[in-house]
Structure 1
Amino acid sequence: MNTKKIVITGGPGTGKSSVLQELSLRGDTCFPEISRQVTLEAQKQGIAQLFLTDPLLFSKKLLESRRQQYAGAEKEKAGRVFIDRGVHDVLAYMDYAGTSYPPDFTEICKHCRYDVIFVLPPWEDIYVSDNERYENFQQAEVIHHFIKSTYIAYGYELVEVPIGPVSARVDFMLKYLETEKQW
């Protein structure tokens, strides 16, 4: 079976985790965001924000974990898997930070191809900073544009999910998937 790999992306604090949680409650297979895990592991080692301290090391760890998620999605028996951020998000954040990265980063992005990219736009009313999310809302908006640009540069057509209640956002996504000929 060719499992469809569906990315849910957007800047920080746009509701991706809430959407994935709702999809999971409805019975879909979902792979969660892993950057918080990488950040928390670094904090246990005394590094408050690994991305700010050593963006290349943080991004290498994140890219490898996301690549493993991609490989895991390919092995899933479900017809589709929703993934909170794809490998391309790593490059977008690196570009946002103005940090160069080795060629293998782009090779991984060329190799890992997703079927649909849903983008959640910045939404100030729900945006919250916390222990792992250090950006303010204006920075989140800029990151959002880097993310969109990165996916477009790799040939993706993005599907923007309207702002609204979580259930309505999920309904929009599922309706989109039902009406697409590729499904």
Structure 2
Amino acid sequence: MSGKFHVITGGPGSGKSSLIRALAGQGIGHMPEAGRAIIQDQIAIDGPALPWRNQKAFAEMMLAWDLRSYREAQDRQGPIMFDRGIPDVIGYLTLCGISVPDHLRRAANLCRYDRLVFLAPHWPAIYRQDQERHQSPGEAAATCAVMREVYRSLGYDLLPLPLGSVEERVAFVKSRLGDDSH
């Protein structure tokens, strides 16, 4: 879906979701992040697919969520912003030291996003842990680095977002989306 599906990736707590909410407020379609929603659901039901209980199960749930999001977005008009994409699941498993299964690699190659991927750099000034975000600042920085490498290895070009206000980031992203964002 080159030209229509845009990913914002990076480490946790780097302002991705805030940026996507602001873009959505300006009428740009979006697909929410899998990880946080899965963690919230699994906590609510005391389920096994939490990253601190079963990393493989958590990754499979994220993959299923991301595949459904990709399929659902195909019927939408205009640009769609994805709060992380299928390659992020590869990055997660890589960070965990778990081998990436072939079906996940096939999914990342089959479900393509726009070649230009926005990277939200680790930003210590805004990083906060919470009920779903347990990573240390060092782990958050490492996540950003791994996501950069995974996307590059899959043929994507990464464009770092500026460390600025949400409004500045919105203007930056919209300037790169072209006429489809208006």
Cα distance in 1, alignment partners of residues 89 and 52 from structure 2? 14
Q: What residue number does 2:35 align with? A: 35
Contact 1:11 1:121 in 2 (8 A): yes
Superposed CA offset, 1:94-120 (max 9, x none):
000101232101000010110131111
Q: Which AA in structure 1 matches 2:133?
A: R
Please give the root-mean-square deviation of Cα atoms over the aligned residues, in Å: 2.0
Q: What residue number does 1:122 align with? A: 122
Cα distance in 2, alignment partners of residues 44 and 97 from structure 1? 24
% identical equivalent positions: 32
- Where do 4+ consecutive residues of structure 1 move more than 2 Å? 44-49
1:48 Cα offset (Å): 8.3
Aligned length: 179
Contact 2:8 2:118 in 1 (8 A): yes
1:176 Cα offset (Å): 1.6
Q: TM-score, normalization: structure 2? A: 0.92
1:15 Cα offset (Å): 0.2
Q: What residue number does 1:174 align with? A: 174
Q: What residue number does 1:91 align with? A: 90
Q: Which AA in structure 1 matches 2:20?
A: L
1:52 Cα offset (Å): 2.2
Superposed CA offset, 1:73-111 (max 9, x none):
1111x2210110000000001000101232101000010
Cα distance in 1, alignment partners of residues 49 and 110 from structure 2? 29
Unaligned runs of 5+ in 1: none
Q: TM-score, normalization: structure 1? A: 0.92
Unaligned runs of 5+ in 2: none
Instruction: Sort the Cα spacing of 1:148 and 1:55 in 2 relative to 1 into closer, same or farther, 3 A.
Output: same
Q: Which AA in structure 2 matches 1:171?
A: A
